[in-house]
Amino acid sequence: MIRFENVTKFYARTPRPALDDVSIEIGRGEFVFLVGASGSGKTSCISLVQREERPSAGKVFVAGRDLSSMSAWKVPEHRRKLGVVFQDFRLLPDKTVYENVAFALQVIGKKRHTIRLAVPEVLEMVGLAGKEKRRPHELSGGEQQRVAIARAYVNRPPILLADEPTGNLDPTTSLGIMRLLDQINLTGTTVVMATHDEEIVNQWRKRVIELDEGVVVRDQPEGIYDSSRPARGELTVSEA
């Protein structure tokens, strides 16, 4: 579903690469935690999958398509295969919960009757039925993240990318968000979650890919994460 082939990413005016010869393969329906210290390259991986960035060397494939040879006009279609969730929710502050989610369908030209059916269904799924008319500032952080997940998932993309989705939330609220992402994964959606959240990673025991200074230092099924342990040089990449 997602394949990185020897991907190196340099940003302008930086001495070392953000990603250094990264090769990863993530299959359809997998749930993967992408872990590593701040600056290790997690967000860069997510940006490459979205084709917000392009590799300096190597290739990124998503759903069989080589993103480097994809023409610009095909990029919006590519992005429709992805739902994306961020640490800071990124909701439209003047729109209601319903409108925030509906907007994601309006911009891709979905018909009104489709929107009227899909939005309540996804809001029910994320546990926000009854809160359709609230604006983001009238919701808790956890509820705002649920709106963001509803917006990312309403078009049922085959891939959901989540960049530190629990980064602004307390542990109990984080657990609820993680349960929701797990539930989405159980519908067959591939989920890639970048996180520092040791508690979540260690509790859920899913595949863990660890980055350290842009290098994959660990790829482990049912892995754990200990951020206090120096990653590079102490661990080897297993054939997962």
Interatomic CA distance for residues 191 and 8, integer angstroms:
23
The nearer residue to ligand ATP, 1 or 18, going by C-beta atoms, is 18
Residues from 5 through 34 that contact ligand ATP (CB under 6 A): 11, 14, 18
Nearest to 195 by CA among 225, 217, 219: 225
The nearer residue to ligand ATP, 36 or 136, going by C-beta atoms, is 36
Considering only 2, 44, 86, 91, the residue that binds ligand ATP (CB under 6 A) is: 44
Considering only 27, 39, 76, 188, the residue that binds ligand ATP (CB under 6 A) is: 39
Number of neighbours of residue 168 by Cβ within 10 angstroms: 16
| Binding window for ligand ATP (CB under 6 A); candidates: 37-45, 67-75, 120-128, 181-189 | 37-45
Interatomic CA distance for residues 4 and 126, integer angstroms:
31
The nearer residue to ligand ATP, 89 or 98, going by C-beta atoms, is 89
Inter-CA distances, 16 with 5, 39, 194, 196, 210, Å: 19, 11, 21, 22, 18
Residues from 138 through 197 that contact ligand ATP (CB under 6 A): none
Strand boundaries in 46-158, DSSP class E: 57-62, 65-66, 82-86
Interatomic CA distance for residues 225 and 217, integer angstroms:
12
Considering only 7, 33, 36, 118, the residue that binds ligand ATP (CB under 6 A) is: 36
Considering only 20, 42, 84, 104, the residue that binds ligand ATP (CB under 6 A) is: 42
* Shortest distance, position 44 Cβ to ligand ATP, whole Å: 3
Nearest to 120 by CA among 132, 109, 104, 110: 132
69 lines the binding site for ligand ATP (CB under 6 A): no
* Shortest distance, position 205 Cβ to ligand ATP, whole Å: 22
Task: Name the token pair of 67.
Answer: 């993103």
* Shortest distance, position 101 Cβ to ligand ATP, whole Å: 26
Alpha helices in 54-111 (DSSP H): 75-79, 97-106
The nearer residue to ligand ATP, 132 or 213, going by C-beta atoms, is 213
Interatomic CA distance for residues 23 and 6, integer angstroms:
5
* Shortest distance, position 8 Cβ to ligand ATP, whole Å: 12
Considering only 40, 50, 100, 145, the residue that binds ligand ATP (CB under 6 A) is: 40
Considering only 7, 43, 122, 204, the residue that binds ligand ATP (CB under 6 A) is: 43
For the CA atoms of 202, 147, 180, 162, the dihedral, rounded to the nearest 10 degrees, stands at: -50
Binding site for ligand ATP (CB under 6 A): 11, 14, 18, 36, 38-44
